Amino acid sequence: MLLDGKKLLITGVLTPQSIAFAAATSAQEHGAEIVLTNFGRAVSLTQKVAKRLPQPCDVLEMDVTDEAQIDAVREELASRWGRVDGILHAIAFAPQDALGGNFLHTPWDSVATAVQTSAFSLKSVAVGLLPLMRDHGGAIVSLDFDARVAWPIYDWMGVAKAGLEAVTRYLARDLGAMGIRVNTVSAGPIKTMAGKGIPGFDQITGSWGDRAPLGWDAEDPAPVGDTVTFLFSDLARGITGEMIHVDGGFHAIGTTPVAAPT
């Protein structure tokens, strides 16, 4: 199995439709032992969802904007495992006034929240868990939505995701000497709770499958989860600093085809 014996920390599992849930499922199916995290009232939701995994697992509380909570998770995993082989950063948040076409009017406080939670937190978690990865290497993976272009209604979350992509490259630079790979997965739109919370989300998902050469099922996060498993595995040992697209090929096509070739 690809991840036999590996110890993984997976954030962001909220519902069975979460991309992180698909990643956790795939990781377990490939032999990994995992622990999930969430914070506040969402912890109880994650605990319920964890029971639906192939192997129910523990849920720890970790607010990625709180250094003390990150440190507490590190100490717990140090006691439990002694090491961490991989981390999935599946966390993004922007206040409502930072989305939905309000780009020109969003106040700095809302922008700061989006950037800290969605981009800076990748660095926070990587540095916080580094003592458990430094001696043997490993892989850090985050979830992205291609921020090389401007999307309708995505606004400051798009800016935060651009920051996430940059953080990925700089972490890859600084952690590579320790054998730690850092990559991000740019997924096509998935109808998760987070996605549904973006005003006008259907504007993005509506024609995605028409343009993507492989088509796209916005209700199936499994292809993204399987790619995360690959990036955690030793098969990806030569890949770092990359943005891997799992979007049916949408990113490679300039416009919706007029007619498919016969």
Q: Which residues of 159-169 are buried (b: 16+ CB within 10 A; e: fewer)?
A: bbbbbbbebbb
Q: What is the pLDDT of residue 62?
A: 98
Catalytic site residues?
Answer: 154, 161
Q: Give the C-alpha separation, 94 to 103, whole Å.
A: 12
**195: which 2 tokens?**
């996605």
Q: Give the C-alpha separation, 204 to 153, whole Å.
A: 9
Q: What is the pLDDT of residue 97?
A: 96
The CA-based dihedral angle spanning residues 193, 123, 114, 100, taken in that order and rounded to the nearest 10 degrees: -60
φ/ψ region of 155 (left if φ > 0, alpha if ψ in -120 to 50, else beta) reads left
Q: What is the pLDDT of residue 212?
A: 94
In eight-state DSSP terms, residue 235 is: G
Q: Where are the beta strands (DSSP E) in the chain?
A: 7-11, 33-38, 59-61, 86-89, 138-144, 180-187, 243-246
Q: What is the pLDDT of residue 120?
A: 98
Q: Are 191 and 22 in contact (CB under 8 A)?
A: no
CA distances in angstroms from 102 to 97, 99, 109, 157, 158, listed in the order given: 6, 6, 14, 11, 12
Q: Are 138 and 85 in contact (CB under 8 A)?
A: yes
**Sites in the chain below the pLDDT cut of 70:** 193-200, 203, 258-262
